[in-house]
Amino acid sequence: MAEGETITGNRALQIEEPLLFEMDAPGQCGVDLPDSGPFEDRLGGLERRNPVGLPGLSEPRVIRHFTRLSQKNYAIDAGIFPLGSCTMKHNPRLNERLARLPGFAQLHPMQPESTVQGALALIDTLADWLRTLTGMPAVAMSPAAGAHGELCGTMVIRAALDARGEKRSTVLVPDSAHGTNPATAAMCGYAVEPIPSNARGRVDLALLKERLDDDVAAFMLTNPSTCGLFEDEILEQAEAVHAAGAYFYCDGANFNAIAGRVRPGDLGIDCMHLNLHKTFSTPHGGGGPGSGPVMLSEALAPFAPLPWLVHGAEGLRLVERAEGEAARAIGRLKSFHGQFGMFVRALAYMMSHGGDGIRQASEDAVLSANYVLAGLEDVMSLSYPGPCMHEMLFDDRFLKGTGIATLDFAKAMIDEGLHPMTVYFPLVVHGAMLIEPTESESRQSLDVFIRVMRALAERAKGGDTAWFTGAPRLAPRRRLDETTAARQPVLRWLPEEASAEKAAE
Amino acid sequence: MNDLKYTREHEWVRMEGDVAVIGISAFAQEALGDVVFVELPEIGKSLKAGDQAAVVESVKAASEVYAPLAGEVVGVNEALNDDPSTVNSDPTGKGWFLKMKPSNPADFEALMDEADYRKFAEEQG
Amino acid sequence: MRYLGLTDADRRAMLAACGAADIDALYRDVPKSAVLADPLDLPLHAGEMEVERALAALAACNLSAADAPCFLGAGAYRHHVPAAVDYIIQRGEFLTAYTPYQPEIAQGTLQYLFEFQTQVALICGMEIASASHYDGATACAEAALMARRIAKRSRVVVSGGVHPHYRGVTETYFRWLGDGLDLLPPSLGDEDLAACIDGDTAAVMVQNPDVFGRLRDLAPLAEACHEAGALLIVAVAEPVSLGLVRPPGEMGADIVAAEGQPVGNGLNFGGPYLGLMATRQRFVRQLPGRIAGQTIDADGRRGWVLTLSAREQHIRREKAASTNSGLCALAFCVHMALLGEEGFRALARLNHARAVALADALAAVDGVTVENDTFFNEFTIRLPGPAAPVADAMAERGILGGVPASRLFPGVEDLADCLVVCATETVSDDDIAALTAALKEFV
C-alpha cells in the first residue's frame, strides 16, 4: 500500500460512512414506543399495504452515523468562513438555549391568543428593535428567508401600485445586485432591467435617472452593495426614484455593515428585507431555516402580508384575515406566524449586544474588512478602491496568465483549512472573489488569513499551476464531478436490485 | 460550413431541401460549458420567429433556444435525450436540436452568415 | 462584548494599518446627513444572565403545550422528539455550516440531504424528492406552479379540505399570474373534484388526511385527473400518517407537497418548519428547490453535490422562488433514522390508537358528535354551539382542547360549531379524561 492509504479508506478522524440505507439491520430500532394495544381502526380500508423501506438502526449507530457526517463539514465553529454577502458570523449558544425554553419551543401556533401573550410580546419587541434600527415604521415578520422577504416586498409594492391604479411593468436592478432579485420580480409580473455600474462600482446615477419613468415600479438596490461599497449617491437615487413615482427597495443582506450607524429609513428606502440569519446571527444550518422580515414605509404598510400583530384591548392579537384594518393585505406567505424560533434567537442576540454593541459590531465588521483589504491589495487585484464596507471585492486579474482560475484559488484555500470566499459573484467583475471576514474574527485570525492568502497569491504568480488545479487534496473529498451528477442524476438511494435494473435500462 | 446561417441568439440554421435544421452555435456551447440536458419541442408545434423552441441546460446555466424563423416543428433530435454531450462535441452536426418547415423559406436568407456571426460573437465575448 | 473578536488595542492598530484616522474615515461614503448623530434609543448590551432572565420571563407568560393536555393539530403536531435529534442538530458542524457550495468540505450536509430525499420519497411512495422547502404551505404553492409548468395549462383546482394556510399561500403566489385557481369551499360534505376538471386544468390539489382529518381513497380522482391530462397534487400536513395510511404515490399522485415538522421538529409557535416535495422521476427537471445528487470525486470516490441547479435558477428566474430549511431537514432525517421501518410504523399506529380512544371517549359526551367516518390522528367534532368560546374556556382551565374550525375558516357558518381535535402519542389517558370532563362542563 502506498503511504497514506489505509485498509478501510478511512484517514484517522475522517471515517468513510455508508448511507443509512446501506446499514439496515432489520429488527433494530432507535426508539422504544409503548404498545398500541387492541383497537378498531378508522382508516376506511386505506391502510398501508407495503413496507416503507426504511432501514432499522440502533441509537448508537445513528449517533455515530451523523457524528461521522458532521466531521466532513466545515463550519464557523471550526474556522473563518469569509463568504462575502453571506455574513457567517458567530452563532451564540445562548440563542439556542433560549429558543428551546418550553415556553417558546413547545407552543402550538393555534393556541388561543390568551395563552401566548409572551410569545406575541417577543415578536412585538423584536419588531420594535427592527423599526428602531432601520428607522422604518412598519415590519412584516412572516417571510421565511431573504428570498421570501424579497418576494413579499415586491408583492407589497405591486399591491400598492395596483391600489394607486397604476400599471407599471419594470423593476430596475443594478447589475451587482444580490442573486435572487430577478426571480422575485418576475413572479409579480415585472420584467427586470439591469442598471449598469459606473467605474467606481456604484450605480450609474445618470443612467438610472435616464431610465426612470412612469413604467418603473421599483428600483431594487443592494446597499451596501455586493461590491462591498456604500452607494454614496443613494440620496440622489432615492429622490429620482420617488420623483418617478416608483418605490425604492433595498436588499438588506448587507445591513450588518451599517446597523446602529445608519438608518435605511433616513436614506429614503421604502421597503427592505432583513436577513436575521446574517445580521442578527441566527444559524445558517447548512442552508436554512432563515428568517426575512420586511421593513415597510408608511405608504406600503397597509399591504403587509398576514398575519398582522396588533395591540388590542385585551393584549396582543393576531389578525389572520384580510379584513378590517388588514383589508388590503396581500394575503398569506407562510403557514402560521413566521419563523418564531429564529425571532427568539435574533432578539437574544440584539439584547446581548444592545444598541451600543450592534453599532460596535458593524464598525468591527467594516474595520476587519478594511484590514484584510489593506493586507491583500498589493498581491491581489482589488476591483474598486477602498475604503470598503464589511466586505471587499477582488477579481482574477492577478491570476492572469497563470492558468489558475478563481475556482482553483478557492480550492487551494480549502487545503489550508480556510473556507473559500464567495466566488464568481457579483457578476460585474471577472472571476470575482468577495471576502467578508465579519466582526467575530480576532486579529490573530485575520492575520493568519492574510498570511495564507498572500502566500497563495505569490505561489500562483510563481507559476505553480498544478498546486491549484489539483486542489483540494486533503479534504474529505477531492473535486466532485458535477457534470455527471447533472447528466445522469442519482437523487436517491435505491436497493441494489433496483439500481441494477435502472442501470440496465 | 458556409451553408449555415446564424441568429443573434446564437442558433444556427441549415436548409436541407425545404426543411430547416436548427441547433446552437459552437460559440454558444463553449459559453455554456458541459451540456447536461436538452428539452425539445413537440413535433407538429407551430412557432413564430423568436418563440421558445427548446431549452438547453449546462452545469452553469439553463437557457432558451429560440425559433430562428417561423414554421412548424417537423423533427427533433431524440438522441440528445440520451447523450446531451453531443451538443458540446458536435454542435453544428450531430448536436442539432430540431427541424422546422419554414412558413416563409425566404426568412432563411435574412439571417447572419458565418462571417457576420463570427464578428457578432467576438463582440459579445 | 463577548461576541466580538477585537480589543480596543486591536482596533487602534488595525485602523493604523488601514491608514484611517478613526472609524468614521472608513464610513466616509455615507452621506453626512444620513449618519446618526446620537446613539439609537435601545438598551445597552447585556450579559447572558440578564438576557436569559428577560426572555425566560416572556416564555413564562405562555402556556406551554408540554404543560397542558394538548389536542391541537391543524397543520402543526406535537410529537415526542428523541433526545438524540436535538443533540445532533446542535453539533456546530451542522448548525454553523453554510449552504454546501464547496462540496469537498460539505459532504456531511450533502449526504444527509441525499438521505433525507430518499426518506421523503419512500414515505410518500414517490420516486424522487427535493432537499426541503420553507414549509408545507409554500411547498403546496410551489407544487401548483410546478404542475402548471408540466401540464402547460393554467388552472389548479384546490379542494375545500386543503389547510387554509396552504390555500392562502397558494392564492398569494398566484395573485399576479392571472386567473388560475379554483378554490372549492371548505365543507364537511362531499365534494366532486373530478367534475371540476376541464381542458384547462393543470392539476387538482387535495389534502390527505384533509384539514378535518378525513381520509379518502384518491385513486379514482387520480384516474380522472390523468384521463383529462391533469396532475394530482396531494398535500400532507401530518407525515406521520404515512406510516399507517396508504401513501399518495400508491394512489396515483403526481406531486406530493407536505409539512415535515411532525418528524423531528418541535412546535416552535409555527416555525421554523420544513416543506417536503416528492414527485415522479420524469418530472425531475421541473422540481423546484435544491437537490443533492450522487457523483464521484477526482479519485473516483463516491460523493455528493448540489445538482440540477442551473434548472433551478432557470425556473426561478421566471416563475418561482424557493429555498430550503436545511437544519429542519436534518432533524427530520435523524428522527426518521431512529424510527426506521419498525419505529415509523409503530409510531403511526400508536397515534391512530390514541385518536381512536379519544374519538370513542368524545362520542360518549352528550351533545358532542364526531363528524368523521375515517381519520388518522385528528378528527372534527360538532358541539351544540359555537366552538371558539369553548376552546377559550378550556384554555383558561389549562387544557388546549382543539382548534376551532372558525379560526381556520372564519365566517363559514356550518363550521362555527366545529372543533378539530388531535391525539398524538403524547396524549395520555388522563389527558383524554381531562378533555372529556371539560367538554361535559362547557357544552
Domains in chain B with CATH codes:
5-105 (2.40.50.100)
C217's grid cell: 381513497
Lowest mean pLDDT among A380-384, B39-43, C20-24, C355-359: B39-43
Q: CA of B63: which chain C residue's CA is closest?
A: C314
3-state SS class at B39:
strand
The pLDDT value given to residue C317: 42
* Chain B contacts in chain A segment 439-458 (CB below 8 A): none
Q: CA of A424: which chain B residue's CA is closest?
A: B60
The vertex-A396 CA angle with A392 and A397, nearest 5°, equals 110
The pLDDT value given to residue A498: 73
CA distance A178 to chain B (A): 17
pLDDT surpassing 90 at residue A407: yes
Q: CA of C394: which chain A residue's CA is closest?
A: A112
Q: CA of C311: which chain B residue's CA is closest?
A: B62
For residue A247, the enclosing domain spans: 94-349
In a domain, A140, yes or no: yes
**What does the alpha-carbon distance between residue C17 and residue A127 come to, in Å, rounded to a whole number?**
38
The per-residue b/e assignment along A447-486, b for 16 or more CB within 10 angstroms, e otherwise, is ebbbebbeebbebbeeeeeebbeebbeebbbbbbbbbbbb
Q: CA of B64: which chain C residue's CA is closest?
A: C314
Residue A387: which residues within 8 A CB-CB, separation 6 or more? Answer: A366, A370, A373, C18, C20, C25, C26, C27, C28, C29
What value does the CA radius of gyration of chain B take, rounded to a whole number of Å? 13
Q: Percentage of chain A surpassing pLDDT 90?
A: 88
pLDDT lower than 50: segments of chain C? 316-322
The pLDDT value given to residue A183: 66
- Return contacts of A118-122, CB within 8 angstroms, 24+ apart: A118/C57, A118/C58, A118/C59, A118/C60, A118/C61, A118/C62, A119/A340, A119/C58, A119/C62, A119/C269, A120/A309, A120/A315, A120/A316, A120/A317, A120/A318, A121/A316, A121/C58, A121/C61, A122/A343, A122/A344, A122/A347, A122/C55, A122/C58
The pLDDT value given to residue A179: 54
Inter-chain contacts counted by CB atoms under 8 A, chains B and C:
20
User: How far apart are the two ends of chain A, measured CA to CA in Å?
Assistant: 37
Strands B5-6 and B19-24: unpaired
**What does the alpha-carbon distance between residue B40 and residue B54 come to, in Å, rounded to a whole number?**
5
Q: Do C310 and B55 touch (CB under 8 A)?
A: no
The pLDDT value given to residue C272: 97
- Phi-psi map region of A135: left, alpha, beta (phi>0 left; psi -120 to 50 alpha): left
CA distance C282 to chain B (A): 12
Q: Do B37 and C313 touch (CB under 8 A)?
A: no
Q: Do C311 and B58 touch (CB under 8 A)?
A: no
B25's grid cell: 452555435
Q: CA of A489: which chain B residue's CA is closest?
A: B36
Mean pLDDT to the nearest integer, A82-104:
96
B40's grid cell: 425539445
If you count DSSP H runs as helices and E runs as strands, how many of each does chain C have, helices first?
Answer: 14, 13
**What does the alpha-carbon distance between residue C20 and residue A472 come to, in Å, rounded to a whole number?**
37
DSSP lists the bridge partners of residue C382 as: C369, C418
The vertex-C283 CA angle with C282 and C287, nearest 5°, equals 145
- Chain B residues within 8 A of A482 when measuring between CB atoms: 59
If you count DSSP H runs as helices and E runs as strands, how many of each does chain A have, helices first?
Answer: 14, 13
The pLDDT value given to residue A428: 87
**What does the alpha-carbon distance between residue A505 and residue C285 come to, in Å, rounded to a whole number?**
20
- Chain C residues within 8 A of B60 when measuring between CB atoms: 310
Q: 10 Å Cβ neighbour count for C105?
A: 26
The pLDDT value given to residue C319: 36
DSSP lists the bridge partners of residue B57 as: B37, B62
Q: CA of A486: which chain B residue's CA is closest?
A: B36
DSSP lists the bridge partners of residue C55 as: none
- Chain C residues within 8 A of B58 when measuring between CB atoms: 310
Span A440-455, pLDDT tens digits: 999 999 999 999 999 9
pLDDT surpassing 90 at residue A497: no
DSSP lists the bridge partners of residue A395 as: A381
Q: Does A334 touch chain C (CB under 8 A)?
A: yes
Q: Which run of H or E residues covers position C117? A: helix C107-124
DSSP lists the bridge partners of residue C234 as: C206, C256
Does the model's ipTM exceed the 0.95 cut? yes
Q: CA of C285: which chain B residue's CA is closest?
A: B37
Query: Domain holding A284: CATH number?
Result: 3.40.640.10
A63-to-A68, C90, C335 alpha-carbon distances in Å: 9, 13, 11
Q: Do B84 and A482 touch (CB under 8 A)?
A: no
* Chain C contacts in chain A segment 34-73 (CB below 8 A): 34, 36-37, 39-57, 59, 62-63, 65-67, 69-73
Mean pLDDT to the nearest integer, A4-33:
94
CATH architecture of structural domain C83-335 = 3-Layer(aba) Sandwich (3.40)
**What does the alpha-carbon distance between residue C43 and residue A350 come to, in Å, rounded to a whole number?**
9
Span A137-163, pLDDT tens digits: 999 999 999 889 999 999 999 999 999
Q: What is the CATH superfamily name and number for domain C65-79+342-442?
A: Aspartate Aminotransferase, domain 1 (3.90.1150.10)
Strands B11-16 and B5-6: antiparallel
Q: CA of B84: which chain A residue's CA is closest?
A: A487
- Chain A residues within 8 A of C39 when measuring between CB atoms: 260, 355-356, 359
Q: Do A483 and B37 touch (CB under 8 A)?
A: no
**What does the alpha-carbon distance between residue C89 and residue A105 come to, in Å, rounded to a whole number?**
15
pLDDT surpassing 60 at residue A76: yes
The vertex-C94 CA angle with C133 and A469, nearest 5°, equals 95
Give the residue numbers in B contacting A (CB under 8 Å), as ranges.
34, 36-37, 57, 59, 84-85
Q: Which of B59, B60, B80, B87 to mutate to test the interface with A (most CBs of A within 10 A)?
A: B59
pLDDT tier at A5, thresholds 50, 70, 90: confident
- Phi-psi map region of C286: left, alpha, beta (phi>0 left; psi -120 to 50 alpha): alpha
Please state the domain extents for chain C: 65-79+342-442, 83-335
**What does the alpha-carbon distance between residue C414 and residue C433 come to, in Å, rounded to a whole number?**
28
Domain count, chain A: 1
The pLDDT value given to residue A198: 92
CA distance C152 to chain B (A): 12
**What does the alpha-carbon distance between residue C383 and residue C368 come to, in Å, rounded to a whole number?**
5
* Chain C contacts in chain B segment 23-82 (CB below 8 A): 36-37, 39, 55, 57-63
The pLDDT value given to residue C88: 98
The pLDDT value given to residue C178: 81
The pLDDT value given to residue C309: 76
Give the residue numbers in C contacting B (CB under 8 Å), as ranges.
285, 310-311, 313-314
Any idea which residue has 430540431 for its cell? B98
* The one-letter amino acid at C267: L
Q: Is C53 exposed, middle or buried (0-12, 13-18, 19+ CB in 10 A)?
A: exposed
What value does the CA radius of gyration of chain C take, rounded to a whole number of Å? 25
**What does the alpha-carbon distance between residue A337 and residue A137 come to, in Å, rounded to a whole number?**
20
Q: Which of B32, B38, B57 to mutate to test the interface with C (most CBs of C within 10 A)?
A: B57
Q: Which run of H or E residues covers position A194? A: strand A191-195
Of A505, A176, A142, A76, the closest CA to residue A294 belongs to A142
Smallest Cβ distance to A78: which of C61, C93, C102?
C93
- Chain A residues within 8 A of B125 when measuring between CB atoms: none
- Chain B residues within 8 A of C311 when measuring between CB atoms: 37, 57, 62
The pLDDT value given to residue B59: 83
Q: Do C311 and B60 touch (CB under 8 A)?
A: no
Span A293-352, pLDDT tens digits: 999 999 999 999 999 999 999 899 999 999 999 999 999 999 999 999 999 999 999 999
pLDDT surpassing 60 at residue A25: yes
- Chain B residues within 8 A of C310 when measuring between CB atoms: 36, 57-62
- Phi-psi map region of C258: left, alpha, beta (phi>0 left; psi -120 to 50 alpha): beta
